[in-house]
Amino acid sequence: MVEIKTPAELEAMREAGRVVANALQATRDQAAPGVSLLELNETAVSIISAAGAKPAFLHYKPHFAPTPFPAVICASVNDVIVHGIPDRYRLHPGDLLSIDCGAYLDGWAADAATSFVIGPANPEDLRLIADAETALADAIAACVPGGRLGDIGHAVAHVGRAAGYGIPTDFGGHGVGRAMHEDPHVANHGRPGRGMTLRPGLVLAIEPMFIAGGHDTYLTAPDGWALTSVDGSRAVHVEHTVAVTEDGPRVLTLP
């Protein structure tokens, strides 16, 4: 069931989104050569706790996972596309890191992700990140009343395919509200003008995932969570929680 949020509920979700944005910014500020992924996770724990919020990822167990997720953030390095479990790995110069974070505040969820390079960056990595952010911006721009769900997926795929990237087509975005994952599924591909009509009050997490090597297929790590590129090429993941409103798209996961 797709739930339409009231203006008051959108305001509550905006506050949850602010918590997520602050946690992402804090981990991004801390990320540097020698810093471990577990240390980044603890920083997110502190930010979320200080805001009186609860982590959305911790102990979450979707149908595809063999065990509940054991951390507060997903930390995906280099060839890991999404769902990387933070561990003792210490960041190196040139690592491409994607951090995904979700939180509940007063019963409402928000979800966002960011990708960046540690220290000096390879131009190809910067291009990959920039293209993913362009795809996200174009998809957000499609979140208008009367638009269609296919417009969002088409916006993502148009950028990714033009650049020759792979897109893991069975993973994508989702509705957000009282639960972190709600209907509808928001694919990273689609036909413009097709699919569910977008209505004011609909809230979606939009999350482009691009694989530099061009393959759509991926491997699942032994932990059952992390998805990695089949050829070792780098991958990127960016995301915002976005509300459809009468005044146009409203990004809820900003500081």
Print the SS3 string covering 107-135: CEEEEEEEEEECCCCCHHHHHHHHHHHHH
| pLDDT level of residue 209 (50, 70, 90 thresholds) | very high
pLDDT value at residue 24:
98
pLDDT in tens, 5-40: 999 999 999 999 999 999 999 999 999 999 999 999
Is the torsion defined by CA of 116, 10, 48, 103 positive or negative? negative
* The pLDDT of residue 11: 98
In this prediction, residue 196 carries a pLDDT of 98
Q: What is the pLDDT of residues 43-61, one digit of tens each?
A: 999 999 999 999 999 999 9
Q: pTM here?
A: 0.97
Give exposure, 81-90, as e/b (b: 16+ Cβ within 10 Å): bbbbbbeeee
Per-residue model confidence (pLDDT) at position 77? 98
The residue to which tokens 């020759």 are assigned:
164
Q: Mean pLDDT across the stretch 226-238?
A: 98
Buried b (16+ CB within 10 A) or exposed e, 216-239: eebeeeeeebbbbbeeebbbbbbb
Q: Which helix (H) or strand (E) holds 77?
A: strand 73-77
- How many residues are given for the chain? 255
pLDDT the model gives residue 183: 97
Q: How far apart are CA 255 and CA 189, in angstroms?
A: 28
Residue the block writes with tokens 């990387």: 84
- Helix (H, G, I), strand (E, B), or coil: what is residue 19? helix
Segment 102-122 mean pLDDT: 98
Q: Give the side-chain half-sphere CA count within 13 A for 2.
A: 16
Strand partners, 96: 117
Q: What is the rounded end-to-end Cα distance, in angstroms, of the chain?
A: 30
Q: What is the mean pLDDT of residues 199-216?
A: 98
